[in-house]
Structure 1
């Protein structure tokens, strides 16, 4: 009996007749946007980044405080013992006083530049937080599609195992009736055993992918929605690498943050240089206490043993001119010059990396577009080759090795096709991240092409491939 092994038949057997087939997915599969929302609400790295930003933004009010009035209060309590030789006398009493001091900086250049540096650091921290939030969009998509990639790989591996099992059964039947020798059986057995081992590994990879998704969101998932094969596979718009690089130069969040890092280093340098400048403060003080505490005495220079409280008010200016601090200020200026050079070089390195990544990702997306189409056609061609090889094997023009190799090539092309689809999706998102335009709306756009009742064992291939392969085979003379 002539048996034509088609991919559609293998998939059907893999989903309906194999004891190791995965359980049917739940009716309410989780979608991509829901996974992202769970990541936003529960991701530990994002929570840590937000807490870090909350701490970093406090540098602004801390720096501003150095330019605002400073009010302090204090009190003294002392035991005063006064001994006089002529005439001999000793007075011993307690002295108490309290004071309030108000100080307002009038000229503090170093503190002004410190505030400017703090504001730049705050802007840098804000952009870094935004970059972390943007990266979470990509992380969510990467983890989500890693699960789908692993599931599709498992589905194709199970179909391949089933195909080799059918080939093994056929070889045994042919051997029993004397149509083939033991070599065919052994070859088929070896291929089946290898496929079974690959299926075990593929199952573990699915479990690992779900674990990564759980780590990202701190939520348990049983099934997720899959991407349909009608997803448009189009070149990037605009399909011009220079335009994408220019956009990245204006909008890449990490690059913008590096600009503020340079600004902060410049202001810090100015702050250190201002350490050579004089400072001027307005000072007002009110003090009240007993005579001994404030040092008042009678005209004869004798302590007043008994008297009321004395109050004292002082208003003035305090000028401080730094002359020499052991070389500390000069050293700090030299350090700041080096720090500034460091941040400028880091910004330039980052700019070059952003340009490189943007160009590479633009090429990658265009390559992925061609890859998806080529891999799809490869499945059709390999499926036709399997059927033709099966026919040749039945009539004696091909051997079992040819059959097994054609089947192996078929399922390899299946995995390559699915990998190219997910590469296309993720490279698109990475390109947008490099350009600084990635946002949650991109995940919403992808969600329109998710299938709620997606079953990897049935949906890992386009439904029209079997028909296309049959038409291609019929078009060849002799078949």
Structure 2
């Protein structure tokens, strides 16, 4: 006996009610999400502020080598009672005043010069740190963005499956009442339906959690997101792992940050060592004073010359500072080596992950096509009575699993591309724009296909 057909749409979902809330919302794409995150990220703002602060640090260090101009002046009320200087005592009140202008130009100051070089390296390290934070934010935003799309796709799959299972369950119950079915098929269909209802709740919660994670980065409500319609598998380009590792060693901002910190620590050693060097300066001064107890006396004086200050002993401060700076430089060197090993490993892992991702996307796409064909064939068999309810339930489960696997592989492929570039230190906003160009389908329109 033929069974009545059960309509199956294997790629679409009837979960329009789930997306009603976003039906009128403006679609947000990846570029917009990243721009929102970059504009509101406290970590980016903090790192940029510290980098800007270090620009002034260079000016402060440079000032020790720049001309120093000072002015001084004084005025006072003096009372003089002088005896024994002449035949009569002197008892006078007078108001002396004076002012001076002094110009000092350091000619040789080895410690200050090394400190300036260290401050430049520190500023460069913060610049590299800012780039590292920006790259990490791109990756975090993309991960959160596609996590929302992945969760929504899973929810659509579950809702579509739930609708199909409800129809199968109703049909099995109807056939049992008509005497053409059995209780085993009814119970099996109900069990699958109960499981799908539980999965729907879990999927709905997953969407909410994913949206909250994205909103935490963008500090904006996550409206409807532009989605991927399709994506061709793509492995690493260039295809040699060594090229990517070399790129990471040359371009990774966290390595550049560590190198600049190491260079700064070496300049600090030099500055500490030169703390015992003589400091040679050019000095010029003009002095004017009047109002002494000798009437009509006025003094004008100018001078120009060279002075040398040579700190011969400072209580061991120079030796201790030099030893401390050497120890810190050694620690920075070891830290750089550890970081280099980590970056190489992460780049190699990202390279292999992208290769696996491309293969996985191809495999899951073919598996989905196969599961779709099998589900249609099983449905036809059920309609003519050659397949049972349990068989169509099993086929539906395999199709749902294949669709979930393909969705996961699709978004993982995009993230794997970005992760490899991030590991190599070359991820930029241009990559965001390139991925954004692939996002031309809204979640709502996709659900209606």
Q: Flag the 1:77–1:186 CA change in 2: closer, same or farther, 3 A.
A: farther
- Provide TM-score, normalisation by structure 1: 0.83
1:271 CA displacement = 0.5
Q: How does 1:80-91 map to 2 (within 5 A)?
A: 80-86=78-84, 88-91=89-92
* Equivalence for 1:422: 411
State the alpha-carbon separation in 1 of the partners of residues 422 and 310 from structure 2.
Answer: 51
Describe the SS at the equivalent of 1:83. Answer: strand
1:308-340 alpha-carbon deviations (Å, 9 max, x no partner):
442232323222111222222211111111111
Q: Select the residue among 306, 314, 320 that pairs with 1:317.
A: 306
1:348 CA displacement = 1.1
Q: How does 1:366-377 map to 2 (within 5 A)?
A: 366-377=355-366
8 Å Cα contact 1:5-1:386 kept in structure 2: no
1:178 CA displacement = 3.9
1:179 CA displacement = 4.4
Describe the SS at the equivalent of 2:305. Answer: strand
Once structures 1 and 2 are overlaid, which stretch shifts more, 428-437 or 405-414? 405-414
Q: Flag the 1:380–1:202 CA change in 2: closer, same or farther, 3 A.
A: same
Q: Flag the 1:456–1:153 CA change in 2: closer, same or farther, 3 A.
A: farther
State the alpha-carbon separation in 1 of the partners of residues 190 and 224 from structure 2.
Answer: 33
1:186-235 alpha-carbon deviations (Å, 9 max, x no partner):
44333323322322232233233333333333444421211121x22121
* Equivalence for 2:433: 444
- Provide TM-score, normalisation by structure 2: 0.88
Which sections of structure 2, spanning at least 5 residues, go unmatched?
A: none
State the alpha-carbon separation in 2 of the partners of residues 443 and 428 from structure 1.
Answer: 11
Describe the SS at the equivalent of 1:72. Answer: strand
8 Å Cα contact 2:236-2:354 kept in structure 1: yes
1:60-112 alpha-carbon deviations (Å, 9 max, x no partner):
11111110100111222334343334254444444332222111111100001
Describe the SS at the equivalent of 1:57. Answer: helix
State the alpha-carbon separation in 2 of the partners of residues 177 and 385 from structure 1.
Answer: 28
How many correspondences in the alignment? 444
* Equivalence for 1:224: 225
Q: Select the residue among 396, 399, 417 that pairs with 1:410.
A: 399
* Equivalence for 1:378: 367
Q: How does 1:14-413 map to 2 (within 5 A)?
A: 14-15=14-15, 19-20=17-18, 22-23=20-21, 25-26=23-24, 29-86=27-84, 88-229=89-230, 231-292=231-292, 303-304=293-294, 306-386=295-375, 391=381, 400=390, 403-413=392-402
Q: Flag the 1:398–1:439 CA change in 2: closer, same or farther, 3 A.
A: same
Describe the SS at the equivalent of 1:420. Answer: helix
8 Å Cα contact 2:25-2:223 kept in structure 1: no
State the alpha-carbon separation in 2 of the partners of residues 277 and 250 from structure 1.
Answer: 37
8 Å Cα contact 1:25-1:453 kept in structure 2: no
Describe the SS at the equivalent of 2:139. Answer: helix
Describe the SS at the equivalent of 1:286. Answer: strand
State the alpha-carbon separation in 1 of the partners of residues 126 and 11 from structure 2.
Answer: 55
1:274-325 alpha-carbon deviations (Å, 9 max, x no partner):
0121112222222222254xxxxxxxxxx52x33442232323222111222
State the alpha-carbon separation in 2 of the partners of residues 358 and 392 from structure 1.
Answer: 51
State the alpha-carbon separation in 1 of the partners of residues 268 and 78 from structure 2.
Answer: 48
8 Å Cα contact 2:125-2:260 kept in structure 1: yes
State the alpha-carbon separation in 2 of the partners of residues 92 and 197 from structure 1.
Answer: 102
1:371 CA displacement = 0.7
Q: Flag the 1:192–1:151 CA change in 2: closer, same or farther, 3 A.
A: same
8 Å Cα contact 1:28-1:453 kept in structure 2: no
State the alpha-carbon separation in 2 of the partners of residues 371 and 6 from structure 1.
Answer: 30
8 Å Cα contact 1:46-1:132 kept in structure 2: yes
Describe the SS at the equivalent of 1:412. Answer: helix
8 Å Cα contact 2:95-2:291 kept in structure 1: no
8 Å Cα contact 1:283-1:315 kept in structure 2: yes
